[in-house]
Structure 1
Amino acid sequence: MSLSPQRPPFCPAKLGGATRGGRGAHAGVAAAVAVLLEAACGRVLLTRRASTLRHFPNLWVPPGGHLEPGEELVAAGLRELAEETGLRLEPGTFSWNLLGLWESLFPPSLSWGPPRCHHIVTYLGLRSAEPQQRLQARLCPSPCEVSAVAWLEPPVLEAIAATEDGAEGSGSGPGPFPGELPATVGITELSPHGFRSSQIPTGILLRRAPARGPDLERVSTGTKFALGRWRAGPGRGQRE
């Protein structure tokens, strides 16, 4: 596996954009970690970012965030998982593997303005020995960061990974929609009164990043990269 950071074809860094400092921006390039948590049944947890967040609102992503000084990757991933979803994994109940590095800038395209933050994200795959139902019962997402959660099945995850952002002529519509996929997927939304089970069209998760105009609810480009590595990795979950 190459440990060089990957990035989308429309990445401002690739096109010569420089990270600018400013109000609420991070100077230079910051380190971050994100975790794809896989339950024993093979479903993977994604979260929808809160609409009030400054960076990437309403996008579906794995739990993640900044590394603290001196913090190890797995410890940081477990901390972010707990802070964002309330899930705490005990030692010996999961295995992990490194999926890859991703260069992330916001806004993700120069057509939306100059970059305001710049991260190198390490994606980790965590495979829990626990069933999805037990993990779901312990979920307590932070409403400041998360507006919904979903445990997605492998066929949906594979279709998401196959949807390429930034391909010439791809537009912002949904990517390939295999006939065997369900028309909708179940999610758990946060509301002022607690959790609410809901359904969203599967096509929302297959949307491509728009080249211009307002962003859409979709799966982030970096998450698609990580899901592609998760799907292809025969060594998934081999390291403690």
Structure 2
Amino acid sequence: MTAVLLLVNGVGLLSFWLSVEFSTPTIQLASEIQQGHSENIVCNIPRLKVRDSTSPHRNISLSRGPDVLSSNNNKSSLEYSFVADLQKDDRTEIICEAYVQVGSEVLRKQTRRVLNVVASPFNVSVSANRERYKTNENIKVTCNATGKPFPEFSWHLPSTEGVEFSDNNRTIEISSAQSSHNGTYLCLANNIYGKKSARVDIVFEESTRSWIAAVVVVTLLAVLITAGVVLYRCQK
């Protein structure tokens, strides 16, 4: 009896497979998706045909990882729109799954694609170990940015004298700063999708000793001039 049932079930399943033409679903998706842009994903069953008169029940769904984005009954195509986010969407897997049911028999097929999100530079910032400095002090300025591909960095500086670049141009360092290094430090982050900049102002301050020395020198000169004038008048 068991063998007969297996044979009957096998014949029924074979008959089902032969009566249904059901191709693997496809995903229409751009090879590169730009962050912040509205994008469409189309999930489609290219071919579905049932040879007998039975009307099949079909379902098509679109998922991102474990999350179902959208689903549709009794249609062969599904479209989903979203705004791409590099940190949330990049390298996540999109799954298009479809199933067809004729009577008690169900046939499922799916296809997968991985999102490739690109982005012009963003979150660009510049930080410095000090924004006010005196002669011969150390200045270190670092530029940070996010993007895909990862940005390249360039600088506009008040002076390039004594400036050392490191970390693929992200960091500049001046070991013995002078008054000529006073000004705006502008970092430009750039990739093939765009560019963005950030800046910091670094201000030179004369040391207290310099001011005291200048006052002492001026005072001494004044005393000497006054003494010279008095001596000259006395000699007359």
TM class, shorter-length: under 0.3
TM-score (norm 1): 0.16
TM-score (norm 2): 0.16
Higher strand share: 2
